[in-house]
Amino acid sequence: MGVSFNYGAHRAAKARVGKFIGKTGHLLMISLAIVLAFGGIVLIVLANPVGWLVASLAAWPAMFAKWYVGELSDISAEASETAIEASLSSGVLAHLSKQPSPHDIAAAIGQTNEGAFYGARFGLTANFLLQIASNEQSDTAEIWQTAMDVKDELNLEHLSAGTLVYALVKQLPDHDALLAHNHMELDDIKRGIEWQEHIKQLIKHHSKPRRTGGVARDWSFGYTPLLSRFGQNISQQIAAGGLLSVDLESHADALDQLVDTFSTSGRQNSVLVGATGVGKTTIVHAFAERLLDASSKLPANLKFRQVVMLDSSSLISAAPGRGQLEDLIMQVFSEAYAAKNIILCLDDAQLFFEEGVGSVDLSNVLLPIIEAGRLRMILTMDDQRYLQISQRNSALVNALNRINIAPAGKAETIKVLQDKLILTEFSRKVTYTYQSVDEAYRLSERYVHDLAMPGRALKLLESAASYNENGLVTMNSVQQAIEQTMNVKVSVAAESDDREKLLNLEELIHKRMINQDRAVSVVSDALRRARAGVRNPNRPIGTFLFLGPTGVGKTELSKALADVYFGGEDRMIRLDLNEYVRSEDVTRLIADGADDPTSLTAQAMKQPFSVVLLDEIEKAHPSVLTTLLQLLDEGILRDIKNREVSFRDAIIIATSNAGAERIREYIDRGYKLDQFEEEFTNELINSGQFRPEFLNRFDEMVVFTPLEKADLLKVVDLIIAGVNKTLALQKVSVEVDEDAKKLLVEKGYDPRLGARPMRRVIQRVVENNVAKAILSGIVKPGSAITITASQVEETMGKAEKAQAIEQEAS
């Protein structure tokens, strides 16, 4: 027999009484007590002895009001009991009927605040639960059992609404598919239960009075007027309840190390080294909080010590002169030392050790103090800056006790976000869904490079608050925030025009590309896979090697893609690899954006959603190609500062002229592309021009065929369409006779250079004639200019003559 619910149990009955009284009843009882007490006193004053009874009767409603607050409003679980009614959260318990079906349980959950949490945070609303819950009472036992199992697994005090939500969803046979629709898994509900429990614990923790040493705590320590002026007393802020710090397991080690350093007799300083956003300042806050807590186990020489964060900018502005600043620093430090209870914190300590905007190199003043190790100091520093400073000043680094702070993992980051968001939710009047937090972690990991976790995810979530939907910050809000700030597309194509564009990509590209159907089709397929969400997210959208002679449209296809899909030709990062022929050029490829904004990594950081065109790849040095292997394989390239730069939202296109002559031979011998493509690729590998492991990294190798004269006629049309677009401002257009087009093709065709000379020829003939017609006033706005074969002959003849004279002269 499964677990069952005892409707008549005392706890259940009490819960129903509590529900019956409710907040309104409680208020009524208090009012009644006041009225009776006051009325009784008035009667007594008026010498009426009935007043005694009336006044004393106030005791009973007052007693009931106290009972409601003390017990009924939140009946605690009976720890020793394992029965459902003994541990079920009182909110749900109060709303249950005698023999509840899963549907009744869902209805009860829907009426509690606990249940509302899952509606807002997960989209598992009361209506949703009512729709999925069965009406069969025989299914209830399984619900209870599953909920009890979750309660035991998560070590909960109550059988909370969350455990029941989990059980109700799990009972549904196709729950995975249903939850996938909400972008979540069954286990995410468990994470939600933990989140809710954590919030309850936080509220409980913060509602307790703080023991922070009392009124005479600082009487044995000195006054610090200068420090108050140039620093921020974190301990005071914590004591006033202004800072919310987060207890993190990864920070526990760093905190213990700080306590160790300051409670032993060695040098009384520590430097927290870690990437920006990793939580160094948060650790300092947590340390200050621990020192203030009277109940924490700390050596007496650390208890109630105050952490003061020095403000470098106010120090510099108060003492602009060189000597003045050093004097002021010495005064501040002397004051801190004499006070005997100060731990100085130099946040972003590099500002005190290097010259720059808002920073001054005070190494000469600070080094003796740090080396002496008597003044307690905590420094925080970015790991890269720490390395730079250690190169310049090894004595300084040797005098500091280093504590490394590693970026938080996913579980910890989510915890930090959930804690920090409490304040953001309050100040921005929004509610973050669980999915939004999860999505912020995923997207920030990929797109936010200048911060470490958890700072990077938090930054994204804070900006996502501006894209809330009816007060809810959803996954969509986070996607919108990253799309707006990073100019990338991360959401699955949902807009109808976006979908239309994807479905008709080939057609759109062919508006500016002639022939090369296979090439157009493979890149279009890759894009459709990406935007439908079915591609591998840990690789670039597509990696292609375009092979073929020059002037056949390899670069043009890349430009067309950037224009049609990514929104403009400027969304193309182009690298001519014939400029990367030495092994040292690898450094240039991955240079820091601050030093070289044209490096591949710097450009991809700024514009991750783009076409990356690696032109003439066969000319690059093997070391450069080896560097590019990881990019092609995992969509990641580490820059010179070892930051991961993502290419996972880019299409990587490498072009090469290698084997162009061989392609032409095949075509001349009458082969079609599909007949020789495979053999040609094998020949290319065998020739040793590309290493097989390099070629294997590409999704597709696409051979471009040389353009024939029939194709070039279409190219002429495209170029003339471009000219007409330019002329549209002058309200004139140009038309070219068929004979003239054929003549243009004859003049512009060069089997070695493909369509490339065509533009030159057309520019010379068409644009020159149009320019003359406009200047001579032959054409009027709204009219069309027709170019004939004779005009082509005439212009080209003149050009050829000019060329001949030029050659003779030279």
One residue of 4, 6, 31, 48 binding another protein per CB under 8 A: 48
CB 73, min distance to another protein, A: 12
Residue 554, SS3? helix
Window contacting another protein (CB under 8 A); options: 136-144, 211-219, 744-752, 764-772 = 211-219
CB 108, min distance to another protein, A: 22
Nearer to another protein, 54 or 620 (CB): 54
Task: Measure the CA–CA gap between 176 and 14, rounded to whole angstroms.
Answer: 38
Q: Verify binding: residue 51, another protein, rule CB under 8 A.
A: yes
Nearest to 671 by CA among 634, 722, 705: 705
Nearer to another protein, 17 or 30 (CB): 17
Number of residues that bind another protein (CB under 8 A): 43
Window contacting another protein (CB under 8 A); options: 145-153, 204-212, 627-635, 794-802 = 204-212
Task: Measure the CA–CA gap between 408 and 688, rounded to whole angstroms.
Answer: 45
Nearer to another protein, 64 or 128 (CB): 64
Q: Verify binding: residue 340, another protein, rule CB under 8 A.
A: yes
Q: Verify binding: residue 17, another protein, rule CB under 8 A.
A: yes
Q: Verify binding: residue 216, another protein, rule CB under 8 A.
A: yes
Nearer to another protein, 224 or 444 (CB): 224
Q: Verify binding: residue 47, another protein, rule CB under 8 A.
A: yes
Task: Measure the CA–CA gap between 289 and 296, rounded to whole angstroms.
Answer: 10
Task: Measure the CA–CA gap between 438 and 278, rounded to whole angstroms.
Answer: 18
CB 346, min distance to another protein, A: 23
Residue 760 to residues 420, 551, 696, 755, 763, Cα–Cα distance (Å): 61, 13, 38, 10, 5
Nearest to 541 by CA among 632, 479, 627, 628: 632
Nearer to another protein, 86 or 577 (CB): 86
For the record, the structure tokens of 314 come out as 């106010």
CB 55, min distance to another protein, A: 6
CB 221, min distance to another protein, A: 6
CB 58, min distance to another protein, A: 8
Beta-bridge mates of residue 381: 273
Q: Verify binding: residue 222, another protein, rule CB under 8 A.
A: yes
One residue of 27, 50, 240, 728 binding another protein per CB under 8 A: 50
Question: How are beta strands 733-736 and 542-547 bridged, if at all?
Answer: unpaired
Task: Measure the CA–CA gap between 85 and 82, rounded to whole angstroms.
Answer: 9
Task: Measure the CA–CA gap between 767 and 761, rounded to whole angstroms.
Answer: 10
Q: Verify binding: residue 175, another protein, rule CB under 8 A.
A: no
Which residues, 6 or more positions from 585, have their beta carbon under 8 angstroms from its beta carbon?
579, 621, 623, 624
For the record, the structure tokens of 479 come out as 């996607």
Residue span 291-310 as binding mask against another protein, x where in contact by CB under 8 A, dash where not: ---x----------------
CB 215, min distance to another protein, A: 6
CB 337, min distance to another protein, A: 9
Q: Verify binding: residue 241, another protein, rule CB under 8 A.
A: no
Q: Verify binding: residue 566, another protein, rule CB under 8 A.
A: no
Q: Verify binding: residue 14, another protein, rule CB under 8 A.
A: yes
In terms of Cβ atoms closer than 10 Å to its own Cβ (0-12, 13-18, 19+), residue 223 is: exposed
Instruction: Compute the chain's Rg from CA coordinates.
Output: 37
Nearer to another protein, 17 or 406 (CB): 17
Window contacting another protein (CB under 8 A); options: 44-52, 101-109, 263-271, 473-481 = 44-52
Q: Verify binding: residue 40, another protein, rule CB under 8 A.
A: yes
Question: How are beta strands 231-233 and 306-310 bridged, if at all?
Answer: antiparallel
DSSP code for 576: E
| Alpha-carbon 287 to chain mean position | 28
One residue of 27, 34, 42, 53 binding another protein per CB under 8 A: 53
One residue of 34, 42, 59, 387 binding another protein per CB under 8 A: 59
Nearer to another protein, 69 or 423 (CB): 69
One residue of 240, 338, 710, 728 binding another protein per CB under 8 A: 338
Q: Residue 180: which H helix or E strand, with range?
A: helix 175-181
Under a CB-based contact definition with an 8 Å cutoff, are residues 545 and 658 in contact? no
Nearer to another protein, 56 or 263 (CB): 56
One residue of 73, 212, 384, 626 binding another protein per CB under 8 A: 212
One residue of 213, 236, 397, 574 binding another protein per CB under 8 A: 213
Q: Verify binding: residue 214, another protein, rule CB under 8 A.
A: yes
Strands (E), 506-626: 542-547, 572-576, 611-615
| Helix spans in 46-160 (H) | 50-57, 59-70, 84-87, 90-94, 102-110, 113-122, 126-132, 140-153
Q: Verify binding: residue 215, another protein, rule CB under 8 A.
A: yes
CB 47, min distance to another protein, A: 5
Q: Verify binding: residue 66, another protein, rule CB under 8 A.
A: yes
For the record, the structure tokens of 84 come out as 């459902």
Nearer to another protein, 10 or 392 (CB): 10
Window contacting another protein (CB under 8 A); options: 53-61, 189-197, 467-475, 595-603 = 53-61
CB 41, min distance to another protein, A: 11
Torsional class of 136: left (φ above 0), alpha (ψ -120 to 50), beta (otherwise):
beta
| Alpha-carbon 430 to chain mean position | 19
Nearer to another protein, 10 or 672 (CB): 10
One residue of 34, 35, 52, 683 binding another protein per CB under 8 A: 52
DSSP code for 767: I
Residue 332 to residues 309, 328, 360, 375, 766, Cα–Cα distance (Å): 12, 6, 16, 11, 78
One residue of 2, 4, 10, 392 binding another protein per CB under 8 A: 10
Window contacting another protein (CB under 8 A); options: 64-72, 374-382, 678-686, 765-773 = 64-72
DSSP code for 75: P
Angle between the N-to-C axes of helices 50-57 and 10-45, in degrees from 0 to 180, rounded to the nearest 10: 150
Rounded to 5 degrees, what are φ and ψ at 330?
-65, -40
CB 239, min distance to another protein, A: 12
One residue of 155, 220, 364, 391 binding another protein per CB under 8 A: 220
CB 139, min distance to another protein, A: 33
Window contacting another protein (CB under 8 A); options: 56-64, 186-194, 225-233, 431-439 = 56-64
Beta-bridge mates of residue 734: 785
Residue 625, SS3? helix
3-state secondary structure 365-432: HHHHHHHHCCCCEEEEECHHHHHHHHHHCHHHHHCCCEEECCCCCHHHHHHHHHHHHHHHHHHHCCEE
Q: Verify binding: residue 63, another protein, rule CB under 8 A.
A: yes
Nearest to 14 by CA among 59, 55, 67, 52: 67
One residue of 54, 84, 602, 718 binding another protein per CB under 8 A: 54
For the record, the structure tokens of 411 come out as 């579980």
One residue of 141, 339, 713, 774 binding another protein per CB under 8 A: 339
Nearest to 494 by CA among 467, 468, 444, 533: 533
CB 66, min distance to another protein, A: 7
CB 213, min distance to another protein, A: 6
Alpha-carbon dihedral sign for residues 10, 13, 17, 18: positive
Binding stretches for another protein (CB under 8 A): 10, 14, 17, 40, 44-45, 47-57, 59-60, 62-64, 66-67, 70-71, 209, 211-217, 219-223, 294, 338-340
